[in-house]
Structure 1
Amino acid sequence: AHALTLKKGDYGNVILSKYPLLETKSIHLGVANDGDDIRSFGYALLEKEGKQFYFATTHLGYKKDDATRLKQIAEILAEIKNLKKPIILGADLNSRPNSQTMPALQKWFSLPCQTPNCEWTVPTPKPTYTCDWLIYAPQQAFEVKDYAVQFWADKESDHFPVVGTFNIK
C-alpha cells in the first residue's frame, strides 16, 4: 500500500504471503492537518484450506494527538464494512492500549491479548509500551492459537515484531 514517494524511494506497507493474493486494494489515509505524514491501508483476499479471509496492513499517524489516528480508523472502517469475509489487520497503530483510538477499533476488531496485559513492542531493545497489533474481525471467525512478541529481533527495527497463529473457523 503505497503511502508517499521520498527522495530515496517509496514509503508504505506490504503484505507478503505464501498464499496467492486473490484480490488486493490500497487506499491513502487522510491527516487531520497536524503535519503528520500521509499513510495508507492495504488489504488482500487470501484462501487457505478452502477458507477465504482478508489480511490487511497499515501504519497509522504518529503525532501525539489522536485526531489523525481517529480519522484514519474511520476511513479504514468505512473501507472494510462491506467486506463479506473475516479480516486480520497487522498494524503499527501508534496507539497505546489506553488511547482514544483503541476503543474506536474495538467497536469492530477483537484483540488477541487483553489490554493492558499485551506484551510491549516499542522501543527496542527495552520496550515500554505496545503499539503494534494483530487484530481481527469478526471474533467468532477466528481462534487465536498463539500470539507473541518476538523479543529476539531487537536489531531489525525500533519495534519488535508481533507473530500470531490464527485458525479460521
Structure 2
Amino acid sequence: MKKIMFSFAFLCCIATVFGQRVRILSYNIHHGNPPAVSDKIDLDAIARVILDSGADLVGMQEVDVRIPRSQLVDQAHQLAQLTGMYYFFSKGIDYDGGEYGTLILSKYKIIGNRRYELPMPEAGENRSLAIVDVALPTGKTISFANTHLDLSEKNKVAQAGYINELGDWYDRPLILVGDLNAEPKSPAINVLDTYFSRNTDTNGPTHPNQQAKSEIDYIMVGKHCKFIWKAYNTIASDASDHLPLFAEIEFK
C-alpha cells in the first residue's frame, strides 16, 4: 500500500513539473464580421471556434465595444459570456463613439492585468499591448500578452523592440500572440526573434481565410522558458477574414 501511495505521489509530482500544457488561440475576428457577408455580425460563430478549439487562453484582435457597425454591442463582454471565460479588453483607439482594440479571454482566473501604449514614431492608428497573469490549476503563474501591430514598417519595428523590453522583465513563462501585420522574414519579426521563440516547422499562412497566402498571425514564447510545441496549426473557419491560429505548449 505504501508503495502504491508513493508511486501515485511521485507521478503527481512528475505531472506537475513536466506536464503543464497550455492551449492557445490567436484570432483576428474582424469585429465578428464574416467576409462573405458584409453587413453581418456573428459573434456566435466566433465563440464556437473558441470553444471547439479547447483553448485555455485566447488573444483576439479587431474587437468592437459599443460601435454602431456592430449594433453597439460590447463584444468583449459578450464573447466572455458566450465562452464562459474571464476577460480583459485593451483599447487601441476611440472609434465612432465606442472603442476598438484587442481582447484576452482566459479559462483560468486572471490575477493581474496591464495595458501598454505601443510607440508610434510615425502618425497612425494607436496600438496597445495587453498582458494578463493567470494561475494554472497546478499553481504555476504564467503571463499572456496580446497585440495588433501597426501597418507602418517603422512603427512595427519600434513596437517589436518595446515588446522585447517589456518581455525582458519576466522570469515566469511569457506567451505573446497577435496579428503582427508582418511576414516571417520581415524586420519586425527579426526583432522579436531575439527574445521570443516561434514555430518554424508546422507554421503556415493565416490570411486571408480562403486560400491563405500571408503568415501575419503568431504565437510566440519567451526564450527564457523551457517548453516544447505539442501542436501548432491554423483552424479552417469562415467566421473572419483571418484564420484562427492554435498552439498547444508544454512547459518543461
Same fold (TM over 0.5): yes
1:79 aligns with 166
> What does residue 62 of structure 1 align with?
151
> Which residue identity does 2:130 align to in structure 1?
G
TM-score normalised to structure 2 length? 0.61
Separation in structure 2 between the aligned mates of residue 5 and residue 142 of structure 1, nearest angstrom:
38
Where structure 1 has 5 or more consecutive residues not aligned to the other structure, the ranges are none
Does residue 1:143 correspond to 2:228, yes or no?
yes
Deviation of 1:60 (Å):
0.1
Please identify which structure carries the higher helix content. Answer: 2
Give the equivalent residue in structure 1 for 2:181: 94
Larger Rg: 2
Structure 2 letter corresponding to 1:136: V
1:142 shift after superposition: 1.8
Query: Matches of 2:224 and 2:207 in 1, distance apart?
Result: 26
Q: CA deviation at 1:161?
A: 0.6
Residue 8 and residue 121 in structure 1: after superposition, are their counterparts in 2 closer, same or farther (change >3 A)?
farther
Identity of aligned residues (%): 26
Q: How much does 1:32 deviate?
A: 2.2
1:162, 1:103 → 2: CA distance? Answer: 20
Contact 1:109 1:136 in 2 (8 A): yes
Which residue in 2 is equivalent to 1:162?
Answer: 245
3-state SS, counterpart of residue 191 of structure 2: helix
Identify unmatched segments of 5+ residues in structure 2.
1-89
Q: Match of 2:92?
A: 3
Q: What SS does structure 1 have at the residue aligned with 2:162?
A: helix
- Equivalent pairs counted in the alignment come to 162
Spell out structure 1 runs of 4+ moving beyond 2 A: 138-141
Pairwise CA RMSD: 1.5
> What SS does structure 1 have at the residue aligned with 2:110?
coil
1:120, CA displacement in angstroms? 0.5
| Higher alpha-carbon deviation: 134-143 or 16-25 | 134-143
Aligned equivalent of 1:25 = 114
